[in-house]
């Protein structure tokens, strides 16, 4: 229903630069907020900063400090841009990102975009929403059912770029073969139930997952922008192909086939 898309995403699998040189994969979803195109600018700045950060990554072990630095750079970029453009005062963005290396995935999170894990049929939300209502649920003052329809459910308690410095949540996951991890904006989770999400993440062929979930969100009303990045781990550890290998060529064409379908 919206005429302007304030979501941005990043998907750099291990066979694409700069992830290829870094020996990792990087994925992210950001949902901007702020008038006068502020949300669109904020989310785009956040994911572009992550892309630049990856170009300077030197193979350090996955740890929360890595994303604290990366998210810090992104938050400063948004804050600085807003300060230089008074008409964009108050703009900010959520950011949920995943760095994959070997047999592990590091997830960083600020806001109410989410990361989910589908593992052997069990569907779980990895991240906690940074909203005033979600905090009330965690404190036992509201039930999840009350929170779902609460008029203040979209008010963020934490967002990128609103202040110069940001506190983030990080999660380090040991991956298993067959795991599916989805990063998504709240335009998806506000319209599609967890059960429907889990059913669609198990769809075959995998390239149909993205269109199916975004389509379900739009069919349910599409009151907000809907963006997802879904990663399935067919083999663990995740291997980085040779720069001029047939494996890289094959994955490259498969990836762009999926991207085109989504």
CB atoms within 10 A of CB 35: 11
Q: What is the pTM of this model?
A: 0.90
| Number of domains the chain contains | 1
What secondary structure letter does DSSP report for 111? S
pLDDT of residue 73: 95
pLDDT of residue 89: 87
Sign of the torsion angle spanned by Cα atoms 40, 43, 45, 51? negative
Among the listed residues 230, 195, 229, 197, the one whose alpha carbon sits nearest the alpha carbon of residue 216:
197
CB atoms within 10 A of CB 33: 22
Q: Residues near 234 by Cβ (< 8 Å), separated by ≥ 6?
A: 177, 178
| Within a domain: 262 | no
Length of the chain: 262
CATH code of the domain in which 206 resides: 3.60.40.10
| Within a domain: 146 | yes
Place of tokens 């999660």: 171
| Within a domain: 215 | yes
List the domain range (segments joined by +) for residue 214.
7-256
Note whether 134 and 147 are within 8 A (CB): yes
Q: Mark out the alpha helices in the chain (DSSP H runs).
A: 19-22, 38-55, 64-84, 132-138, 144-148, 186-189, 194-201, 209-219, 246-261
How far apart CA 165 and CA 6 sit, in angstroms, is 22
| Within a domain: 49 | yes
Q: What's the per-residue H, E or C state across 176-213?
A: CCCCEEEEECHHHHCCCCHHHHHHHHCCCCHHHHHHHH
Among the listed residues 230, 258, 216, the one whose alpha carbon sits nearest the alpha carbon of residue 115:
230
| Within a domain: 2 | no
- Mutual angle of helices 64-84 and 38-55, in 10-degree steps: 140
R_g of the chain computed on alpha carbons? 18
Instruction: Round to the nearest angstrom and report the end-to-end CA distance of the chain.
Output: 19
Would you state the structure tokens that stand for residue 137, as one six-digit string? 């649920």
How far apart CA 10 and CA 234 sit, in angstroms, is 20
pLDDT of residue 90: 86
* Mean pLDDT for back-to-back runs of 10 residues, the chain (262 residues): 86 91 95 83 96 92 92 95 90 96 97 96 95 81 74 82 90 97 94 94 90 93 91 92 75 60 36
| Within a domain: 55 | yes
| Within a domain: 193 | yes
| Within a domain: 230 | yes
Would you state the structure tokens that stand for residue 78, as one six-digit string? 């948004």
Among the listed residues 67, 68, 52, the one whose alpha carbon sits nearest the alpha carbon of residue 18:
52
How far apart CA 73 and CA 79 sit, in angstroms, is 10
**Which residues does residue 11 pair with via DSSP β-bridges, in sequence order?**
27
């Amino acid at each position: 229903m919206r005429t302007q898309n304030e979501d941005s995403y990043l998907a750099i699998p291990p066979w694409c630069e700069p992830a290829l040189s870094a020996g990792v994969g990087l994925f992210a979803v950001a949902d901007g907020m702020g008038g006068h195109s502020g949300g669109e600018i904020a989310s785009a700045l956040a994911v572009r900063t992550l892309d630049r950060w990856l170009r300077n990554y030197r193979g350090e072990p996955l740890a929360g400090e890595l994303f604290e630095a990366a998210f810090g750079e992104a938050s400063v970029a948004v804050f600085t841009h807003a300060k230089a453009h008074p008409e964009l005062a108050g703009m900010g963005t959520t950011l949920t990102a995943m760095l994959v290396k070997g047999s592990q995935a590091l997830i960083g999170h600020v806001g109410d975009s989410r990361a989910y894990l589908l593992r052997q049929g069990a569907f779980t939300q990895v991240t906690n929403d940074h909203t005033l209502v979600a905090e009330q649920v965690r404190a036992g003052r509201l039930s999840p059912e009350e929170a779902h329809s609460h008029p203040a459910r979209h008010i963020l308690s934490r967002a990128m770029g609103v202040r110069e410095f940001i506190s983030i949540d990080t999660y380090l996951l040991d991956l298993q073969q067959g795991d599916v991890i989805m990063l998504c904006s709240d335009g998806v989770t506000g319209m599609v139930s967890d059960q429907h999400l889990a059913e669609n993440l198990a769809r075959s062929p995998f390239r149909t997952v993205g269109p199916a979930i975004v389509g379900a969100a739009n069919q349910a009303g599409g009151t907000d922008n809907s963006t997802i990045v879904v990663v399935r781990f067919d083999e663990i550890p995740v291997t980085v192909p040779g720069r001029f290998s047939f494996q890289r060529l094959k994955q490259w064409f498969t990836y762009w086939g999926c991207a085109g379908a989504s």
